[in-house]
Amino acid sequence: MSTDNYPLSGLKVLDLSRVLAGPFAGRMLSDLGADVVKIEPPDGDITRLWGHVIAGISGYYHQQNAGKRNVCIDLRADGAKELLYELVAEADILIENYRPDVMPRLGLGYDALKVINPRLIMLSISGFGHNGPESHRAAYAPIIHAEAGLTFRQAERSALPYSELPLSVADTNASLHGLVGLLAAVIHRHNTGVGQHIDIAMLDATVATDDQIHFDLEGANASNQPRIAAWETGAGPILVSADARYFWHCLSRKGLVVDPTTKDMLVEEKIPLRKSAMANFMAGLSSLEEVESSMGSMNLAWGRVGNPTEIQDQQTIRSRGSIIEIDDRAGGTRPVTQSPYRFSGAKSGVRGPAPHRGEHNAEILAEWLKKSPADIETLKQAAILHAEE
């Protein structure tokens, strides 16, 4: 697919990462026009086992690797590291998300790679960053959610037991901060000619993106923050962006409810009666049009509590093409999230399905390294290159 008028057209990216934090950054680079080549071991990214499988590709892997090409290299084989060095010499960017000791142990640390390619920009994403007291620790998103206080806060505010968040926000935060770092480094290299190593800790990225952290850092009471609640209506559950006190104020000021309390009642007696009146008002709204009209009259933001299995039917999602259907490689299509970037004078967007392991071995080695078919066959025979049947 042509990348004419894509902002990152011409950038060559080696994606050595796996699961989510690294692959998501690579996916966004691909959506923006970069040539992203996933370097995958013969046993594959573990996410190839996650989700619905179509044409040998799982849904989770497809989501994070759509639009990339794939070279499958066994780095344990003699000569494999040298092949990767050749690719590094041609690359603009390399992404990895192993523990900090892994890449140097393989001879693939930044200090080694910058000798081969001084212009290389390398993004390393790890749980606790490089050179810190906990750098050695393995970390996935739930671990960082716990360490960063998100798990505690969720339990405290919901009065529920400690539990995992329903999305891997620590991974995606680190990935997006890594993406910002990469693009900044590309500009820096344009100005200086020098590459860069970007060390992103998932813990740093999560804390930096936590809009509630100032309450905890300063010992402030967060009780003045709205406790958002959902209410049952005839049009389904509706979340109103106001705490109960302010919602009651808006409803009573507009004369939409009758106060069931008296002046001589205690606050503890008033609260349940007023909440019951609010619930009755919401239950009486029989359509989304009535919900929108009543919330609009009070200048309150609201939202449907949607089932994610029906997200494609959400009006804005459908209108903006936020989820599109692309080739499923089995004669049909499958849904995938679209690039969120909308440019006035440039293109972005997913550029194809996710690759099989080793699908582009010959293509990439011929394009990037000018390898002949005989060269590629030699690499196969040496068990350096692998490919799915």
Residue predicted with more confidence, 117 or 227? 117
Among residues 31, 45, 171, 204, the one annotated as catalytic is 171
Tens-place pLDDT, residues 356-376: 999 999 999 999 999 999 999
Tens-place pLDDT, residues 120-151: 999 999 999 999 999 999 999 999 999 999 99
Measured distance CA(23)–CA(47) in Å, rounded: 11
Whether the predicted pLDDT of 53 surpasses 70: yes
Question: Residue 2: pLDDT band by 50, 70, 90 thresholds?
Answer: confident
Rounded to 5°, angle at Cα 215 from 210 and 216? 85
Would you call 171 a catalytic residue per the annotation?
yes
pLDDT at 5: 93
pLDDT at 3: 78
Contact 224, 273 (CB under 8 A): no
Question: Residue 224: pLDDT band by 50, 70, 90 thresholds?
Answer: low
pLDDT at 243: 87
Measured distance CA(189)–CA(330) in Å, rounded: 42
pLDDT at 157: 84
Helix axes 21-31, 169-192, angle to 10 degrees: 50
Residues of the chain with CATH 3.40.50.10540: 12-212+311-386
Between 153-162, 320-329, 339-348, the lowest mean confidence (pLDDT) is in 153-162
Contact 158, 234 (CB under 8 A): no
Alpha helices, H only, the chain: 21-31, 59-65, 80-90, 102-105, 110-116, 141-147, 150-158, 169-192, 202-208, 213-217, 244-253, 267-283, 288-297, 315-320, 361-369, 373-381
pLDDT at 178: 97
Measured distance CA(268)–CA(98) in Å, rounded: 54
CA atoms within 13 A on the CB side of 193: 0
Measured distance CA(388)–CA(72) in Å, rounded: 9
Whether the predicted pLDDT of 222 surpasses 90: no
Total H helices, total E strands in the chain: 16, 14
Average pLDDT, the chain: 94
Rounded to 5°, angle at Cα 339 from 353 and 88? 65
DSSP 382: T
DSSP 313: G
pLDDT at 18: 96
Looking at the DSSP bridge assignments, the partners of residue 337 are: 323
Contact 229, 302 (CB under 8 A): no
Query: How large a percentage of the chain has pLDDT more than 70?
Result: 98
Tokens coding 328? 């499923």
Tokens 């209108």 map to which residue?
319
Measured distance CA(387)–CA(377) in Å, rounded: 12
pLDDT at 361: 97
Whether the predicted pLDDT of 156 surpasses 90: no
Between 53-62, 68-77, 157-166, 280-289, the lowest mean confidence (pLDDT) is in 157-166
Phi, psi dihedrals of residue 385, rounded to the nearest 5°? -95, 140
Residue predicted with more confidence, 214 or 369? 369
pLDDT at 219: 84
Q: What is the average per-residue pLDDT within 40-62?
A: 95
Which of 338, 228, 232, 246 is closest to 283 using CA atoms?
A: 232
pLDDT at 225: 61
Q: What is the average per-residue pLDDT within 26-46?
A: 96
Correct CATH for 12-212+311-386 of 3.30.70.3400, 3.30.470.10, 3.40.50.10540, 3.65.10.10: 3.40.50.10540
Tokens coding 24? 């998501």
Tens-place pLDDT, residues 71-84: 999 999 999 999 99
Side chain identity at 49, as an amino acid letter?
L
pLDDT at 80: 96
Question: Residue 106: pLDDT band by 50, 70, 90 thresholds?
Answer: very high
Burial of 63 (0-12, 13-18, 19+ CB in 10 A): buried
Tokens 């692309």 map to which residue?
326
Q: What is the average per-residue pLDDT within 300-314?
A: 94
| pTM (predicted TM-score) | 0.91
